[in-house]
Structure 1
Amino acid sequence: MTATELTAGRSAQDSAAADSTLNNKWSATQIMLLIVLCTVLALDGLDVSMVGVALPSMGRELGLSTESLQWIVSGYVLGYGSLLLLGGRMADLLGRRKIFLIALSVFAVASLLGGLVNDPTLLIATRFIKGLAAAFTAPTGFSIITTNFAEGKPRNRAISIYSTFGASGFSLGLVLGGLMTTLSWRWTFLIAVPIAVVAVLLGLKYIPKDKPSTEGGHDIGGAITLALGMLGLVYTLVSAPEVGWGSPRTIIGFIVSALILGAFGLIETKVRHPLIRFGILRQGWVARANLSIIGLFGSYLSFQFILTMYLQNVLGWSPLGMALALLPTGLIVVASSPFASKLIDRIGATRLIVAGLIALTLGYVLFLRVGTSPSYAADILPSVILLGIGFALGFPSINVQATAGIHDDEQGLAAGLIQTSGQVGAALVLAVTTALVTGSHSASSASSASSPAAMLDTFRPGLILSAAVALAALLIAAAPRRRAKALAQKAVVEV
């Protein structure tokens, strides 16, 4: 990459930051920029996990069933997963600073409304809007980093810190969510408002101004078909447990979504400046990284959904008690932040991804031993520690692997791809998990369905699924490069 390519289309402030990065030193502006972006990503993670902790309280106050509670989670995933690819690419085309600040402002407003509404439908709607906003802030923040820090050690360090903040926010959100829920589940929404407002104000000062890309036109047809296709696919996935996987509505939803996405693929092969260049999947380790994040994030989000119900509904723990029990996971992820980039440089992203998925898989398998009267130290703590290690090693390494070797003009696309894979994968695994739990619950006799033992039995199929998904990702990540590449490309083609 030449110096001209690195600084093209940037302001003088951005160019200075790039020069500083090339010298392996960060300017004060770059440090503040990274703080702003890390704060916003951590806020996204906090939001997902805090709301997850508060689900039982929401269910009791609003009278929601397990299937309805899934929509509190899936409403966010629906908005997030459907527009992530579009959000990342639009940031490349229209200007990263503008897109980021507008989306963050929408996130703040939706958080405020979510904490005030009483109607479950409106609550889910605010979650959907927050997901839409995060679909623009997450990949845009990632591409702002990758275009302001030179590839190599400076960028790896920045990405590692950024990714670890996301994982830390997700992990510590379990604890903060427990604290907020002891006051009211509404605070799991409202706490995001002042943080987002401060981030907007700091972003106005420290995010470098940039110009829209001049290297391609706007693929309007591709943008519309991609958004509609992804929206239909994710909606069908998350609604399938409620209406039935074999129902006409689900089947038609998959067919229509596939046709729309097929039209999108056709458009992308015909237009001069496509929204998504499919050849990016053949670059470096992009395909493998995307499959790895499906295994990591998909299995963990489903596990958290079940774990929250198990600890509060089966064991009768308070939200605060549950938060304290899961505190080691967050502490491990936070403590690893200063060392993540050094480990990636020394050991390599691939080896760390494999190690992280091994820890996750083992953690899920060990948790299958739990009963209705578990010992925290012997039955729960080992899994909590292994999950923290798995996230600390895997999450930043996957993000580094997904963007290594990608040109600046496609960093937003690469960032959108990896985050879309994580969110759509999470939607799929969560939908299947909910279907398994619901089906197992329906099979239980009415007289015993509410007993702790019967409730635990309904959760076990979902726990097994989390372990199986993590194991599948591990096998792909651990395969030799040539074999892994073939497996990844086959999986991408099948999808």
Structure 2
Amino acid sequence: MPSASAAPAPVPALSARSWALLLVLCGTIFLEGIDIAMLAVAIPSIRADLDLSTGTAAWVMSAYILGYAGFTLLGGRAADLLGRRRMFLIWLTVFLVFSGLGGFATEGWMLLVARFVTGVSAAFMTPAAMSIITTSYEEGPQRNRALLVFAGTAAGGFSLGVVIGGLLTQLGWRWVFFAPVLLAGALLIAALRLLPRTGAAAEVPDKPERGFDLPGAAAAAGAMILLAAGVVRLEHGLSGWPLTAGAFAAGLLLVYLFVAVERRSAAPLVRLAIFRRAAMVRADLGAMLFVGSFFGFQLMVTLYLQELRGWSPLETSFALMLMALDAILAPTLTPVLVNRFGNMRVVLGGFVAAIAAYGLFLPIGPDWSFAMMTPTLLLTSVAFTLAYGPLAIAATDGVAPEEQGLASGLLYTAAQFGSALGISAVTAVYGLASTTDGTAELSAFRAALVVPVVMVVLGLAVTATGLRRRKPGGPQSPDVLDSTRRPAASAPAPAPAVDVATSGD
């Protein structure tokens, strides 16, 4: 039996073709990340050029979230039932087309349609990409490395998107829509050659049921859209409470209808028993709170620098570049830490770093130098490096291959709701504080910055419940968040990984 002090097993090397496939899939999640962040920087320019009202400008941002959050669950299951490769290629193409159409928009409604459909395409494309990883790389250290690189690229996209958005907005806001078209086109060409022909999981012999739960799909999409709309409307505060409450009530009613449909369906869209996996639920809730805190914090820092300090979008972009270090740290440092300490401890370290980062920014002053902001920006990058990738591993670890798309969809649904919740909550608190004391703008910023702190504290509490020891000589609990356990020396060798070059359809 190996000694407790034995060094962690080395991470198996990936072949050149496996790295090439991973690069394409990471390119997709990077595309999704920068698309969100770039538009946030460009919105003031778009609003001025197209003479949009404040409400329309806000809905240009929200339309993407509604499309993404509303259809991610359906998108993940569609990858399982209709084929991951097929869903990935179709919806990457849709993403490319509607991103380009957004760049040609001359009216607000054109942007709203383009952003909503782009969000829907991301809702199908992203879970397909993640489930291709979880079904094409051997479970354990190899898959963990691939997922950490994937998640690190997503985090880098969020952070670098602010910088790239500032640069492109200087050229003209339409380039914020055209640039993703160029990247998506290159990824599509590479994906046609590299993506494994894995086919639909429903064709596996021990899963004879074949069908698509249309009533469940309609109820799920409607519920997600209405609940996301309710979250987005939180930023309107008490003035819009009837519509906000109505959206939540209708969304919850559809959730009830969805559960009733799934219980009676012979081939449900979502097998409800999957929610008995406590580790997966913890990871999804943790991701929702962590991503929400990040987006809320990023929004308030951007507003602080541009509105209170008068920095240009380009200056703000370069100031926030420190938060993009996770693009380097996540694929290099995190796999080593996860292999050494396990998911749970690394995730908790990420939440602690986030609490420290946001807490240090709470006493922000009207004339803070960049040097005074640097510790917060660096710690934010470290927090994303430690938490985001391991949460993605935990959300899919141990899930059956035919439900990997569903597990990925649940994770990204939680993340999108988190982003909407974080942005709406800080906006609502900021607006309420500004209304209460219109002269104390800095106080309003400080009040809004409390929201990200509260979210990561709650996230730490949720994920920490998974830190428990197994009984001596007892079996490992399948709900333990640490998915990097090594087999005993006498355990049989794991099954070989899927050959990403030759997988059959």
TM range (shorter): 0.7 to 0.9
Partner of residue 334, structure 1 = 328
CA–CA separation in structure 1 for the residues paired with 2:308 and 2:45: 14
Partner of residue 419, structure 1 = 412
Aligned length: 456
Contact 1:180 1:188 in 2 (8 A): yes
The equivalent position to 1:204 in structure 2, one of 165, 173, 192, is 192
CA–CA separation in structure 1 for the residues paired with 2:278 and 2:246: 36
Q: Deviations over 1:302-344 (max 9, x none)?
A: 1112221111111111111111111111124323422322221
The equivalent position to 1:479 in structure 2, one of 465, 471, 490, is 465
Q: In the alignment, residue 170 of structure 1 is paired with which amino acid?
A: F
Q: 1:245 to 1:262 in 2, by over 3 A?
A: farther
Q: In the alignment, residue 266 of structure 2 is paired with which amino acid?
A: R
Residue 370 of structure 1 deviates from its aligned partner by 1.4
Q: 1:30 to 1:231 in 2, by over 3 A?
A: same
What is the DSSP-based 3-state SS (H/G/I as helix, E as strand, rest coil) of the residue aligned with 1:276? coil
The equivalent position to 1:401 in structure 2, one of 372, 385, 394, is 394
Partner of residue 265, structure 1 = 259
Contact 1:46 1:173 in 2 (8 A): yes
What is the DSSP-based 3-state SS (H/G/I as helix, E as strand, rest coil) of the residue aligned with 1:235? helix
Q: In the alignment, residue 274 of structure 2 is paired with which amino acid?
A: I
Q: 1:459 to 1:59 in 2, by over 3 A?
A: farther
CA–CA separation in structure 2 for the residues paired with 1:418 and 1:81: 11
What is the DSSP-based 3-state SS (H/G/I as helix, E as strand, rest coil) of the residue aligned with 2:27? helix
Whether 1:155 aligns to 2:143 is yes
CA–CA separation in structure 2 for the residues paired with 1:295 and 1:243: 21
What is the DSSP-based 3-state SS (H/G/I as helix, E as strand, rest coil) of the residue aligned with 1:164? helix
Higher mean displacement: 49-58 or 322-331: 49-58
Contact 2:145 2:331 in 1 (8 A): no
What is the DSSP-based 3-state SS (H/G/I as helix, E as strand, rest coil) of the residue aligned with 2:86? helix
CA–CA separation in structure 2 for the residues paired with 1:235 and 1:482: 37
CA–CA separation in structure 2 for the residues paired with 1:254 and 1:441: 26
Residue 46 of structure 1 deviates from its aligned partner by 0.7
Residue 361 of structure 1 deviates from its aligned partner by 1.4
Partner of residue 457, structure 1 = 443
Q: 1:354 to 1:65 in 2, by over 3 A?
A: farther
CA–CA separation in structure 2 for the residues paired with 1:173 and 1:154: 28
Q: Deviations over 1:18-44 (max 9, x none)?
A: xxxxx9453433222111100010010
CA–CA separation in structure 2 for the residues paired with 1:341 and 1:110: 35
CA–CA separation in structure 2 for the residues paired with 1:383 and 1:54: 24
Q: In the alignment, residue 218 of structure 1 is paired with which amino acid?
A: F
Q: Deviations over 1:271-317 (max 9, x none)?
A: 12211122222225101101110111001111112221111111111
CA–CA separation in structure 1 for the residues paired with 2:448 and 2:47: 20
Contact 1:71 1:238 in 2 (8 A): no
Between the aligned residues of both structures, percent identity stands at 37
Contact 2:323 2:380 in 1 (8 A): yes
Partner of residue 305, structure 1 = 299
CA–CA separation in structure 1 for the residues paired with 2:284 and 2:411: 5
The equivalent position to 1:274 in structure 2, one of 251, 268, 293, is 268
Whether 1:91 aligns to 2:85 is no
The equivalent position to 2:155 in structure 1, one of 167, 185, 206, is 167
Contact 2:85 2:198 in 1 (8 A): yes
Partner of residue 388, structure 1 = 381
Contact 1:290 1:422 in 2 (8 A): yes
Contact 2:290 2:418 in 1 (8 A): no
The equivalent position to 2:283 in structure 1, one of 282, 285, 289, is 289
Contact 2:85 2:199 in 1 (8 A): no
Q: Deviations over 1:121-162 (max 9, x none)?
A: 322221111110100111100001111111111111111111
CA–CA separation in structure 1 for the residues paired with 2:106 and 2:300: 25
Partner of residue 243, structure 2 = 249
Partner of residue 63, structure 2 = 75
Residue 58 of structure 1 deviates from its aligned partner by 3.0
Contact 1:284 1:405 in 2 (8 A): no
- TM-score, normalised relative to structure 2: 0.86
CA–CA separation in structure 1 for the residues paired with 2:376 and 2:467: 30
CA–CA separation in structure 1 for the residues paired with 2:56 and 2:376: 28
Higher mean displacement: 143-152 or 48-57: 48-57
Partner of residue 466, structure 1 = 452
Partner of residue 438, structure 1 = 431
Contact 1:45 1:170 in 2 (8 A): yes
Residue 482 of structure 1 deviates from its aligned partner by 6.5
Residue 173 of structure 1 deviates from its aligned partner by 1.1
Partner of residue 30, structure 2 = 42
Residue 460 of structure 1 deviates from its aligned partner by 2.6
CA–CA separation in structure 2 for the residues paired with 1:308 and 1:47: 17
Higher mean displacement: 455-464 or 319-328: 455-464
What is the DSSP-based 3-state SS (H/G/I as helix, E as strand, rest coil) of the residue aligned with 2:267? coil
CA–CA separation in structure 2 for the residues paired with 1:387 and 1:248: 36
Residue 189 of structure 1 deviates from its aligned partner by 1.6
CA–CA separation in structure 1 for the residues paired with 2:358 and 2:310: 21
CA–CA separation in structure 1 for the residues paired with 2:377 and 2:71: 32
Whether 1:141 aligns to 2:135 is no
Measured on the aligned residues, the alpha-carbon RMSD in Å equals 2.2
CA–CA separation in structure 2 for the residues paired with 1:161 and 1:44: 15
Higher mean displacement: 239-248 or 350-359: 239-248
| Structure 2 gaps, min length 5 | 1-10, 470-476, 481-505
Partner of residue 410, structure 1 = 403
CA–CA separation in structure 2 for the residues paired with 1:309 and 1:68: 19
Contact 1:54 1:185 in 2 (8 A): yes
Q: In the alignment, residue 75 of structure 1 is paired with which amino acid?
A: A
CA–CA separation in structure 2 for the residues paired with 1:68 and 1:242: 13
Residue 269 of structure 1 deviates from its aligned partner by 1.2
